[in-house]
A and B are shown apart, each in its own frame.
Chain A
Amino acid sequence: MKSIADINAIREKMQKVLGTRDAQDDADTRIVIGMATCGIAAGARPVFTAFLEEAAKRNLGNVKVTQSGCLGMCKFEPMAQVYIPGKEVVTYVKLDAEAAKRIVSEHIVNGNVVAEYTLDIE
């Protein structure tokens, strides 16, 4: 037997899970991780999972974590691109799980690009 409060708690919990199914919205922030053979070989999977977990932990409903193919710069993998509406796209390179967590907290939440992981082609 559930009370009205229980139903509302289920609703909140499930909305997070099902947010993935909302129509693609231009107002959403997207984190796109390179998941081609090169990316996966370089360790993109734990990075991906870290992005997912961190976004879920912080209840970032409007953040979509998705994947893409090879960006052509395999030596910089694992890579991720962050699209925030109205801002320039930021490309991060040579990531690990720890870096992913920092990007979510420093860049996505607080708006400060994590400079030490950005792409810097000389």
Chain B
Amino acid sequence: MYRNHILVCGGTGCSSGNSKKVHDEFEIQIKEAGLENEVKIITTGCFGLCACGPVVVVYPEGAFYQHIKPENVKEIVDEHIIKGRIVSKLLYKETSETNIKALNETAFYKNQKRVALKNCGYIDPENVEEYIAYDGYQALIKCYNELTPQEVVDIVKASGLRGRGGGGFPTGLKWQFTKNSVNDKKFVCCNADEGDPGAFMDRSVLEGDPHAVIEAMTIAGYAIGSDQGYVYVRAEYPIAVKRLQIAINQAKAYGLLGKNILGTNNNFDLEIRLGSGAFVCGEETALMASIEGLRGEPRPRPPFPAVKGLFGKPTLLNNVETYANIPQIILKGADWFASMGTEKSKGTKVFALGGKITNTGLVEIPMGTTLRTIIEDIGGGIPNGKKFKAAQTGGPSGGCIPAMHFDIPMDYDNLISIGSMMGSGGLIVMDEDNCMVDIAKFFLEFTQEESCGKCTPCRIGTKRLLEYLEKITEGKATMQDLDDMEKLCYYIKDNSLCGLGQTAPNPVLSTLRYFRDEYEAHVKEKRCPAGVCKSLLQYYITEDCKGCTLCAKKCPVGAISGKVKERHIIDVDKCIKCGVCKDVCKFGAVIKK
């Protein structure tokens, strides 16, 4: 028995902040203090509050330390571990304000409901026994002991769980279709090819709780009658791949995967397939082609994977987060799951909060939570007193939610009704300094580059669409271009082969819908209201200039001239609009026009 558990976050966010060194330093210090038999140190998955990383939590006090560097470790060991005095200056600010506040009482965690992320940040993902302690593999045992395959499918159906990868198709139906297909071989696949810019939900689940996915896929294998599974995961997720592989190896060693699982007659094996980061491989038919070793290109549906999928066999394909919900649905029942969320969207959803928000990180909330709660309460609001402009959901396939819809309950159907979509769960917050045309251009640059090129509307359409956007941001477009661009959007949507092309124009359409005035300002007045589009900007020195010459010295192209103690001038022909002069001016005399 250990008196203290030190949990060091080892998610990708905290790892890039050097949490590995923090872990090592704890081992050294604890050893030096002679406490290695009293204190347990583990590395966990993501705690969610990535903005405060690297994060360290010490139990049983539950002290939540933020921004921990290796040099802070000695102080924590000396004060907290040896003398029992929590180092309050290193605590997460909200927990140290009034004495010591428990972590789940803070605004960030209080409004969350963790189902898929249940174990993330609590267990050592590289130790299957810790997963077992938190009811791991009990759902699988329950399926083998008490439930027929059809009963398992019925529970998933009754729970109302819908695909968390973005489409929102009812998961139970997918299981039923695949179960109904008659064949000598079937496959269970997991889509972990999370490619949306700003999305890291699936990565965090695989890093923090890989066994939940393994258990769920084994349950799926039992339910639909399959003995082979594949997890298709991006090679760009090295930590997730490593932990998943360790988890698979441990599961095999414990008889939780392989032949005669847990001494029963059930067989299920699992393998990892690495994707090379092509966005289109997140599309189900392209993903399966890639597993088969072919080029990652989509094909027309039907036939759907449930009928003819991987290697031409019936295949069940779900997203990581969808699977992570399954074991708890089996254990706690469909009614428990269906009691959370809205009428048509049950359960919870994980969002990756990013952009202009205080608490960047990973949050899980019941479906139907409003954007206001997510941004103001959980997210801690917009930094620097700026004003909220819009939130982008669904990545390059989604759209914007403007301030007028701040109180809309977030679920699949509501988001579609306002021209956005749930998507996989990336949520990028934008403030008044973001130009909506520029945002649309950013996403189009992404989809245009990621288009696989198989079908013409997507390959050429996205290229032409991007050209329109470039014209607008350069101030060369006409109102006719704006109309033509909108028509092209619908053409691409209606004629593309797969989801990539069908949704690629969404960022343009939704910004046109809510921020048409910004587009028109670019076209008619040749002006970027947010001051982002460089071609439409001019830097200008006002009468407040004291002639300190600092800007002239810092200008990389020598575009600023003027005598000491006299007002300076910018040569607009030489200016490259880098903004250095504005940043260095102590008198606020340089402005953007």
Compute how far the CA of A56 lies from the CA of B37 in the bound complex, rounded to whole angstroms.
14
Which B residues between 1 and 52 are near A, CB-CB below 8 angstroms? Answer: 1-5, 7, 38, 40
Tell me whether B141 is interfacial, beta carbon within 8 Å: yes
Complex Cα distance, B84 from A40, in Å, reads 11
CB of A53 within 8 Å of the partner chain = yes
Check if A23 sits within 8 Å of B62, measured CB to CB. Answer: yes
On whether the beta carbons of A16 and B1 are closer than 8 Å, the reply is yes
A68 interface residue per 8 A CB criterion = yes
8 A Cβ contacts from A67-81 to B: 67-69
Q: Is B82 an interface residue (CB 8 A)?
A: yes
A contact residues around B137 at 8 Å (CB): 7
B104 within 8 A of A: yes
Does A2 contact B1, Cβ atoms closer than 8 Å? no
- The CA-CA distance from A26 to B62 in the complex, in Å, is 14
Confirm or deny: B133 has a beta carbon within 8 angstroms of a beta carbon on chain A: yes
Instruction: Classify chain B's interface size.
Output: 35 or more
Contact A15–B38 (Cβ < 8 Å): no
Establish whether residues B83 and A35, one from each chain, have CB atoms under 8 Å apart when the complex forms.
yes
* Chain B, range 231-254, C-beta contacts under 8 Å to A: 254
Q: Is the CB–CB distance between A1 and B255 below 8 Å?
A: yes
Contact between chains at B59 and A20 (CB < 8 Å)? yes
For A19-36 the 0/1 string (1 means CB < 8 A from B) is 011111000000001011
> Who on chain A is nearest to B105 by CB?
A23
A37 touching B83 in the complex, CB below 8 Å, given contacts A3-B262, A3-B263? yes
Question: Which applies to chain A's interface (DSSP): helix, strand, loop or mixed?
Answer: helix
A4-B144, A14-B133, A67-B84 given. 6 additional CB < 8 A pairs? A14-B129, A17-B2, A18-B123, A21-B5, A24-B102, A35-B84
Q: List 27 A-B contacts (CB under 8 A).
A: A1-B255, A3-B262, A4-B144, A4-B262, A7-B254, A10-B132, A10-B133, A11-B133, A11-B135, A11-B136, A13-B129, A14-B132, A17-B1, A20-B2, A20-B3, A21-B59, A23-B62, A24-B102, A35-B83, A49-B38, A52-B1, A53-B1, A65-B3, A66-B61, A66-B84, A67-B83, A67-B84
Closest to A9 in B: B132
Judge whether A10 and B129 touch: CB under 8 Å: yes
Q: Which of B4, B144, B145 contacts A20 (CB 8 A)?
A: B4
Q: A56-B1, A66-B84 are in contact. Are A23 and B130 (CB under 8 A)?
A: no
Name the CB-closest residue of A to B37. Answer: A49
A83 within 8 A of partner (CB): no
Check A47 for interface membership: any CB of B closer than 8 A.
no
The one of A2, A3, A35 in contact with B82, judged by C-beta atoms closer than 8 angstroms, is A35
Residues of B within 8 A of A2 (CB): 254-256, 262
Indicate if B85 sits at the interface (CB-CB under 8 A): yes
Contact B60 A20 (CB under 8 A): yes
CB of B279, distance to nearest CB on chain A (Å):
38
- Shortest distance between the CB of B538 and any CB in chain A (Å): 57
Q: How far does the alpha carbon of A18 sit from the alpha carbon of B132 in the complex, in Å? A: 11
Q: Is B388 an interface residue (CB 8 A)?
A: no
Please give me the residue from chain B that is nearest to A67 by CB atom: B84
CB atoms of B141 and A15 under 8 A apart: no
